[in-house]
Amino acid sequence: MRCPYCNCEEDRVVDSRSCREGMAIRRRRECTSCDKRFTTYEYIENVPLSVIKADGRREPFDRSKLLDKIQVACYKTTVSAEAIEQLVDQIEAEVGSLNVKEIPSKQLGERVIEHLRQLNEVAYVRFASVYRQFKDKSDFMRELEQLANN
């Protein structure tokens, strides 16, 4: 590993810890040349996942896009940034455990909706309204009634 301070390629690992629920390893390293410490992360390399859109197009799964959409749904709610990160981690882990190379966007969206329903009802309704393309207030009312009955 190249030192970010002096570009030396010799270092030693001072500490290693599991992070991201066992999906990564955090390593503290010390440069043998300048004695400065830095942190690196080691991740499991996953097979690229493609999302099949409603119109049949395929695009690579983008964690940041999923994170952005969930953040928009959680805007001005009591949901913390940490909880949103954990939610995205959970969804990403679930999808990764399916051992598939492609997943329909509908299936991915339904997973997000289920998690948001448990996390925050307002965020759930916001996400569902965009994802399910509510056309008028009757669509909202139907969803709210279903939420109230569960």
The tens digit of pLDDT for each residue in 87-109 reads 998 898 888 888 888 999 888 88
Q: % helix / strand / coil in the chain, to the nearest 5?
A: 45, 20, 35
Amino acid 106: pLDDT: 87
Q: In this structure, what token pair is assigned to residue 139?
A: 């669509």
pLDDT at 135: 67
Q: What percent of the chain has pLDDT over 70?
A: 86
Which tokens in the block code for residue 132?
């399910």
Map residue 21 onto helix, strand or coil: coil
45 falls in which pLDDT band (50, 70, 90)? low
Straight-line distance from the first to the last Cα atom of the chain, in angstroms, rounded to the nearest whole number: 52
Predicted local distance difference test score (pLDDT) of residue 48: 80
| pLDDT given at position 124 | 80
Q: How far apart are CA 81 and CA 14, in angstroms?
A: 30
Separation between Cα atoms, residue 121 and residue 127, nearest integer Å: 10
pLDDT value, residue 144:
67
Supply the pTM of this predicted model: 0.59
Name which of 145, 111, 102 is nearest 131 in CA terms. Answer: 111
Question: Which pLDDT band, with edges at 50, 70 and 90, does 79 fall under?
Answer: confident
Calpha distance 65→67 (Å, rounded): 5
pLDDT for 148 beyond 80: no
Domain range summary for the chain, segments of one domain joined by +: 11-43, 50-149
Both structure tokens of 149: 């009955």
